[in-house]
Amino acid sequence: MIASSLLGALAIVGSAYGHAIFQQLYVNGVDQGHLTGIRVPSYDGPLTDVTSFYMSCNGGPNPLNTACGLPYPTTIIDIPAGASVTAEWHHTLSGANPSDSEDPIAKGHNGPIMAYLAKVNSALQTDTTGLKWFKIWEDGLTSDGRWAVERMIDNKGKVTFKIPTCIASGNYFLRVELIALHGASSYPGAQFYMECAQINITGGGSASPATVSIPGAYSGSDPGVKIKQVFSIYYPVPTSYTIPGPRPFTCGGTTDTSTTYTPPTSSSTTKASSSITKASSSTTKSSTPVPSSTSTPTTGGVALYALDLRPALRERQVCKVSNEYYSQCLP
């Protein structure tokens, strides 16, 4: 599924197998459409340089479809504050494929999954420079030795979290990120996968969470980015893992003691401090029903034209990255 022209033009880092793309969003269980409102790349590979500009919303080594002449998504997905949001990952842009053993992601890509928001003037703006992010959810390693990625595979690519009730209404980028740690014994080695959805939060409040920059929030020496012994993520079964970045923002700064991973002993990031709490897991005290992980939202109305168009474009064009900020598409 990788265009050979891309392989020729770009340096591909790491294994070409089993990568994943966040490509579909559900709001309170309602499908918002495949590839709708999400800036997806034309290649499903990882980033490994935590200082890269593209750590925010992907691109560069994995050119966004926009780098190949396709327009940015024109949809902004409305999400009520407090809503339950489900992000769906798959191996390729074709979506769910039960016959692909590496869908939604190859086993062995164990690691954490997390979600961040950045307030923007317009979720249609193309510029992702200087965004200020706050984390709203994270899932790492639970005490049973299982990883967020394993739970995501169990749920056929879906991860579900809540939008905080108290944050300001308006346009945001929703950045959902997965880190695969199988190569994390050295740096660069950990594989970062992320896409940004264009959203509009309605009915919010007035909280202004502390923010971090991306790149900036992670360092190559973070204990969650460079793991001392790579095999320790498989055997012996690890007992704790420090998820990179700040702890998720929660309204009122309350700490959810039902957190299921071992919190870091030293806060590795940042400007976070005061209003970012020490624990994770946004499972919750709200009365809004959360769709259970087994209630699979239906996926009607797949935008087939997009699936047909994009591979064709990928084969016709070469996306040549001139520098960090510019990619050129050659016929």
Instruction: Write out the catalytic residue numbers.
Output: 182
Task: State which residue has the least CB distance to Cu ion.
Answer: 19
d(CA 324, CA 151): 34
Provide, rounded to whole angstroms, the least separation between the CB of residue 55 and Cu ion. 17
**H-helix segments, the chain:** 4-9, 148-154, 304-316
108/311 with CB nearer Cu ion: 108
d(CA 25, CA 88): 6
16/303 with CB nearer Cu ion: 16
Going from the C-alpha of 68 to that of each of 22, 38, 301, the distances in angstroms are: 19, 16, 25
Q: How many helices (H) and strands (E) does the chain have?
A: 3, 13
167/227 with CB nearer Cu ion: 227
Cβ atoms of residues 38 and 22 within 8 Å: yes
Going from the C-alpha of 76 to that of each of 60, 94, 160, 205, 206, the distances in angstroms are: 23, 21, 19, 20, 21
Residues engaged in binding Cu ion (CB under 5 A): 18-19
Which has the closest alpha carbon to 76: 40, 36, 42? 36
Provide, rounded to whole angstroms, the least separation between the CB of residue 208 and Cu ion. 36
Provide, rounded to whole angstroms, the least separation between the CB of residue 105 and Cu ion. 7
62/242 with CB nearer Cu ion: 62
Provide, rounded to whole angstroms, the least separation between the CB of residue 310 and Cu ion. 20
